[in-house]
Amino acid sequence: MDEGKILVVDDEVLLLGMLKEAFGSAGYTVFTAENAEEALKILQKESIMVMFLDIKLPGMSGVELCKKIRIENKVGIIHAFTGYSNLYGLLECRAAGFDDFFVKPTEIKMLLKAAQEAFAKLKRWEIDNCGLT
Q: What are the residue ranges spanned by the domains of the chain?
A: 5-124
Can you give the pLDDT at residue 2? Answer: 40
User: Strand 29-33 vs strand 50-54: parallel, antiparallel, or unpaired?
Assistant: unpaired
Structure confidence by residue, pLDDT tens digits, 77-110: 999 998 876 665 778 888 899 999 999 889 999 9
Q: Mind spelling out the 3-state secondary structure of 19-71?
A: HHHHHHHCCCEEEEECCHHHHHHHHHHCCCCEEEEECCCCCCCHHHHHHHHHH
- The amino acid sitting at 102 is F
Q: Determine the Cα–Cα distance for residues 31 and 95; give it in Å rounded to an integer.
A: 25
Structure confidence by residue, pLDDT tens digits, 29-43: 999 999 999 999 999
Which CATH number, 1.10.10.10, 3.40.1800.10, 3.40.50.2300, 3.40.50.720, labels domain 5-124?
3.40.50.2300
pTM: 0.91
